Each structure stands twice: as structure tokens, then as C-alpha cells.
Structure 1
Amino acid sequence: MITKKVKASVLLFSFLFSSLTYSQTIQNKTDKVQENQIHEEQYIPINGIEQWVTIKGNPSKPIILFLHGGPGSPITPYIDVLYKGLEKDFIVVQWDQRGSGRTYGHNNPPEELSPDYLKAHPLTLKQMTNDGVALSKYLLKHLRKQKIILSGTSWGSALGVKIATQSPHLFYAYIGHSQIVNPNFTKERYSKLYKIAEDRKDDDALKILNTIGQPPYSSAKNSGMLYRVIKKYEKANSTPAPENWFILDPAYNNEKDNKDREDGDDYSFVNFVGDEKLGVQSMGASIDMMKDNLDFKIPFYLIQGEEDILTPKDMSKKYFEALKAPKKEYFLLPKAAHGFNQSVVDTQYKIFRSIRTK
């Protein structure tokens, strides 16, 4: 049993009751769902399990499929604040990936995570890539569209690159935010972080860094402690997101959904970083976009926070310059770090509306 949980929210961007399935088109101006708008929330069978997908927006417009970070941190409970403005011009699709949120909670999770459960239920990048391709094919058929705009954040950016390069014919373009190139923290990057702590005379951070030592780490706990220091410094140097972005939608703010998100965070985090004692292989250890994913058949857009330590600008810029695509653009945002803030979302909106879909 895991008695001391390691949160995926420390890793990346943190922010669901029974299956709810419905589709509405109504004319009541006081209702959230406007005339001629699609509004579907349901579990969809994807590669052997049912996965939670929400579809909202104008059915005559292009699809945007969002891939959340974590890997266990769905943003489904927050989209009416973040992306409501897109629903006039797009169909906005959110997906609680395998091991996350409502998808995790719907597929017979254990009451408490145990080494036996983790070993018997591994997450793999290949499996989740195949899930993303299968979902994309479903959306195109269900919504009668030709292609999709694919957008990935942090962990979702690693997944997005794999999906986009495996099945480029399904997509108009790919947009990566806080793009993962190689998530494996090196000794050089550790030394840079250590120097920041020394320069700031930050005894708390130095204690953590001295305790865990240099990477690589064999335990999820040590990885989580490292990310805690990173998040602290990113927060200090960046403009925060508006506070109302982190208020849960009431439909997702209940005991079951809250537990499913928390447990899915833990489960996915351990699978991402790995843990030798628990017998869990790291998904992140196999990721190196510089070796495997430099050839794009679709336009490629990259949004990079200048203060991002976890996926730093020197790595993303090197990757961006090396990759080949019919069109590519790089957006470096000052006072933005690894997560979302207003400048990140504004840039996403700008890119989505610039993409040719006809």
C-alpha cells in the first residue's frame, strides 16, 4: 500500500458520480447551452475501457481536441472558465485520459493504490497514443468532420506529438504548450536548480535537494520533491492565472469525483516517473523527441513560457529548430512558466483562430 502519496499536481498542472450522457440543443437564453450548440458529456468505449469525454460548441465549426497534462490532471472541471470563449467558433473536446479523473474512477480502481495493483495495471505511452488516435477517429465520424486541431499541454504535449506523428492525416495542426522534449532531469539541470537555491539562500530548497541528491531517481517520492522546488521558483517568477480558473465546476465538486481525481493523479504520476521499489516502469524514461519525432506532416505551433524550468526554453527551442513541418511557429511568453496564465490562453486562442481548416 502507498501510505505517503506523491501528487501529480506537484509535477505539472493541477488543478469526476455515475455515467452522465446527454446531448442538448435548446433555445432558452438563460441556459448555459445556447441554440444550435452541441453539449455532450459521456463515457465512450476506447480500446477496451470507457473513457470520459465532453464535447461542447458550435457543431458547424472545427474540432479542437485538448490533451491535458499530469499525466493525471484533467482540466474538464475548469473548461467553462478557460475555454468557453472558443465554443462560438469551435467544437471544444476534453478527454479524461486513461488513468485520470472520471475515466480512472469509472474503471474499477482500488480503494487504495498498492504495488500489486500498479504492477498489474501499467500505463504506457504507446497505449495512450493509441487511445488518442481511436478517440480522434470516433470524433471525426461522430461529428462528421474531416480533421481535428490537436492541442497538448505538458504531458499532453508528449502524447500530442506521438498522436500527431503517428496519424497526421487526422489533424489540421498541432499546438504544443510547455512542450516535453525529454522529461528526464539531468545532473546538469539539477546543478542549475541547486545554484538558484544557493543564490537565493533558500535553506528549505537546499535541504530538499541535498536529501534527494542528483538524478536519476529510483523513487516517485524523490521526483515529487524535486518538482516541488521547481514549482516554487516558477511561481515566484511568473504571472499567476486568475483565481477563478481554479474553482471546480459544481458538477465535479463532490466526494467521488474529488477522490477519483486525487487517486488518478497518484496512479498516473507513479507511472510517469516510475518507482523501483514498487516495481513500476517510468513512461517518461522512454521519451526523447529529438531522436524519435522530428518529422511533422502538419503545421506545428509551440507555446513556451520564458520562466518554465520543468520544460525549459533552451530544450524546446532546440527541438523546434530541428523539426521539419510545412509550417512552424514558436511563441516565447515572458512572465509565463510551466502552467497556464492569461498570456498562454490568449496565445492559444490566437493560434486556433489562425489555423486554416478549409
Structure 2
Amino acid sequence: MGNTALCKHHRRIGRAAMALAVLLVASPLASSRVHAGEAVDPQAVLREARQFQGSDAVRDDRFVRIGGIEQWISVRGRHRDAPILLFLHGGPGFTTIPNSYLYTAEWQEYFTVVQWDQRGAGKTFGRNPDLPASSLSIERMLKDAEEVAAYVRKTYGRRKIVLVGHSWGSILGLMLAQRHPDWFYAYVGFGQATDAHESEAMGYRATLAAATAAHDVEAIRELKAIAPFPDPSDPMADLAHLGTERKWLARYGGAVWRNSEAALDRAGLLSPDYTAADWAGRGKGLDYSLGALWPEITRVNLATIKRIDCPVILFEGRHDLNVNAQLADRWLRQLQAPVKKLIWFEDSAHMVFEEEPGKTLVTLQREVLPLTRE
């Protein structure tokens, strides 16, 4: 390269460098006042970072009178005209709002996502701590779910919405879809419940077999000490032994597969939507709801449902023993529905949307969103 060309080349590099410097000076990142080591409030940071700023964004968190009491409903979405997705959490009492910042902000790019702290759960429990346990039953919870769905449809002017149920919420969801199929573009089940007693029995046997194969003396001793599990004659004894069974089921991957269950739980402590008091109430509500509803849950057998008149799509973790995925597969094969499909998540157990959030998002966008385009 000659001297003249070399000088021109250097001038071009100089101009490009100057332009880049101007760009950096003008950029928000360059002018940011955040410095390494600066103390920050993680909840405040997450609250701002996960909030859509558009004029048509939806952010509507409030208590709504449902079933005669104040119940917490959270509605979030990037665009007001997006299809609505109503999420029914598991447990009972296991509200997912504290952890949902890990995955639902991405859902909100395609759907307006509605989350509800059910009777006896989360913020709803905090608002109604003296609610008698007798007011919790599957039928009462199902009527609450009906009211929530009706409230959402009326408030946002929608004839149909997408209904999603997880675990215990999949009991309510499937029953609701059976009663009102014309309300829903689709029913989506995560960790779909079917025959509760058989699911518990299969989970116990698989966990004991895994412990035996691993020569885990402590696990074998503790699991054999609670036999028979489940005991059809004494559901309250099963409830007393549930902590032991779930401890070892989780240890052998039946709840969360090759992820840190503890880390996923602790992530909720950073939630921008839950205070420390809310979080403490969540734990109390979980114990309260489980005690009130467990005897009735153990008698649930949704395998008797042979027909649903709206599309049914199941998202199942291949390793789910908490709510047995093989039973969900067996049930779906005999179901009649306009559309039915099961998508396996090979690296998940019971918490599919937390364990494989990327695949969950892609699958919702690919399999569910098209059903809303009537």
C-alpha cells in the first residue's frame, strides 16, 4: 500500500473511531450512573427491567372480589390486544407469582398473562388469613376459577382465552375446560393430574426403586417406614408422611430434573412482586391449603373424563413423578377433543416452565398461539 493510500486509510480509521466515540458518549450505557460495587435493590431493578413501557402495555394488579372474598389477580402484557392466557397455579397453595419473573415476561410478548393467587394462597391468603378450612373444597375452588375466567373475559372484552393449569391447577383447569369449552381457545396442562391415588403410588414405588438401586440406606429406611404409601384408608396419615416421600422423590429427580430445586425456590425471594410478608404468607397458605384439600385431592380421578370440546395440549416433563407423566399420556390417548397433543420435555420433571423455560416459550408460541387466530 502506497503512502497516499496509507494516509487515506488512517484518516478513515480516525473518522470511524471518532464516530464510535461520539456514539458511546451519546449512548445510555456510557452515560449510566451505575458503577461497579454500587449497592442496588435487586427487587427494584427487576421491577423496572421486567416492565413494558409501551402505551398499550397492560399492568393491572389488584384484589378482586371472587367467591365472596378479596382475591389477588395480576395481569401483565406488552400489547393490550394480545390473546389472554390465564394460569392456574399448583399446590394447592403454591402460587407461582414470586418465581414467574423468571419466565413469564417472555410469555407476555405473545400473550397477556393473568395470574391468580387462589383462595388460601399467597396474597389472597394474606388478605383472608382467618378463612375457615371448611371453605376450601374442589367445588368451591372450581367456582372461584369460573368467576376469575368470567371476570377476565368481561374486563378485557374477550370471548375466548387460553387456559393453563399446573399440577393441582390442572385439576381445576381440566374440570373448567370440560364445563365451559366455548370459553377457551385451548386448555394447556403442565404436569397434568389424572388419577391422584395411582400417581402417588407410582411415584413412591419409583423413588424406592431408585434409592434401592443407589444403595441409599437412609432413603430406603425412611421410605419403608411410611409404607403403605399412599394409604387409601387414611389420607391424613399420607399427608403426615408426604414430606418424607417428597424429600426423596425430589432427591432422585422426580420433582426437578438435573436443576437446582433449592435455587429455583430461592429465586422467589428476589421477586419484584412479593414482599417479605407476602412470601411468609405464601408458606403459611401452602400448609393451610394442603391440609384442607388433601383428603379430597387423593380421591380425584380425571381419567373418567373422555371428552373435552376444546383443544387440549399437555406439556409433560419426561421425569415427572410428582404428578405422574405416564398417566397423563395414557389418559390423553383415550380422550376425544378437536385437537389433542402431548409435548415431552426431556430435561424436565414437574416444573417444566422453570426447568426448560426456552422450550416452554417456543412451544407456547408454536402450538398454542395459532389456536387463538380464529
- When normalised by structure 2's length, the TM-score is 0.77
Asked if residue 214 in structure 1 is aligned to residue 235 in structure 2, the reply is no
Partner of 2:17: none
Question: Which of residues 117, 120, 123 in structure 2 aligns to 1:96?
Answer: 117
Is residue 2:371 matched to residue 1:355?
yes
1:159 aligns to 2:172 (yes or no):
yes
Counterpart of 2:127 (choices 88, 97, 106) is: 106
Task: Mark the CA change 1:240 to 1:147 in structure 2 (over 3 Å): closer, same or farther.
Answer: same
Distance 1:283 1:318 in 2: 23
Cα pair distance change 1:346/1:247, threshold 3 Å: farther
Write the letter of the residue equivalent to 2:124. T
How far off its partner does 1:303 sit? Answer: 1.2
Q: Structure 1 residues 239, 140: CA separation in 2 closer, same or farther (over 3 Å shift)?
A: same
Query: What is aligned with 1:327?
Result: 339
- CA drift of 1:151 comes to 0.6
1:254 Cα deviation from its structure 2 partner? 3.0
Q: Distance in 2 between matches of 1:297 and 1:74?
A: 28
**Cα offset, 1:29, TM superposition:** 10
In structure 1, the residue matched to 2:257 is 238
Pick closer, same or farther for the CA change 1:244–1:208 going to 2, 3 Å. Answer: closer
What 5-or-longer segments of structure 2 have no aligned partner?
Answer: 1-47
The equivalent residue for 2:106 is 85
Q: CA deviation at 1:253?
A: 4.5
Percent of counterpart pairs with the same letter?
26
- 2:285 aligned residue: 264
* Preserved contact between residue 190 and residue 214 of structure 1 (Cα < 8 Å): no
The Cα shift of 1:345 comes to: 4.8
Q: How does 1:1-358 map to 2 (within 5 A)?
A: 32-57=52-77, 58-109=79-130, 118=133, 121-185=134-198, 187=201, 190-215=204-229, 216=231, 217-219=235-237, 220-234=239-253, 238-240=257-259, 246-273=267-294, 282-291=295-304, 293-340=305-352, 341-342=355-356, 343-358=359-374
Asked if the contact 1:187/1:214 (under 8 Å) is kept, the reply is: no
1:350–1:199 distance in 2 versus 1, CA, 3 Å: same
Report the residue type matching 2:280 in the other structure. Answer: K
- Paired residues of 1:197 and 1:206 also in contact (CA < 8 A): yes
Q: In 2 relative to 1, CA 189–236 (structure 1 residues): closer, same or farther, beyond 3 Å? A: closer
Aligned-partner Cα distance in 2 for 1:269–1:29: 34
Residue-pair matches, total: 314
Distance 1:255 1:156 in 2: 25
1:5-37 Cα deviation digits (max 9, x unpaired): xxxxxxxxxxxxxxxxxxxxxxx9996443210
Query: Partner letter of residue 203 of structure 1?
Result: V
Which residue type is aligned with residue 253 of structure 2? E
CA pair 258-218 structure 1, distance change in 2 beyond 3 A:
same
Query: What secondary structure does 2:321 align onto?
Result: coil
Change (3 A) 1:188 1:90: closer
Moved more, 145-154 or 30-39: 30-39
Q: Distance in 2 between matches of 1:105 and 1:70?
A: 16
Distance in 1 (alpha carbons) for counterparts of 2:260 and 2:109 = 23
Kindly tell me: are residues 228 and 288 of structure 1, through their superposed partners in 2, closer, same or farther at Cα, counting changes over 3 Å? same
Q: 1:39-81: per-residue Cα shift (whole Å, max 9, x none)?
A: 1000011111111000111211110000111111111123233
Q: How high is the TM-score relative to the length of structure 1? A: 0.80
Distance 1:34 1:149 in 2: 23
In 1, the alpha carbon distance for the partners of 2:80 and 2:280 equals: 33
Q: Partners in 1 of 2:156 and 2:277 — Cα distance?
A: 30
More helix by share: 2
SS of alignment partner, residue 234 of structure 1 = coil
Q: 1:188 to 1:156 in 2, by over 3 A?
A: closer
Amino acid at match of 1:357: R
Name the amino acid aligned to 1:200.
Answer: A
Q: Which moved more, 1:218-227 or 1:232-241?
A: 232-241
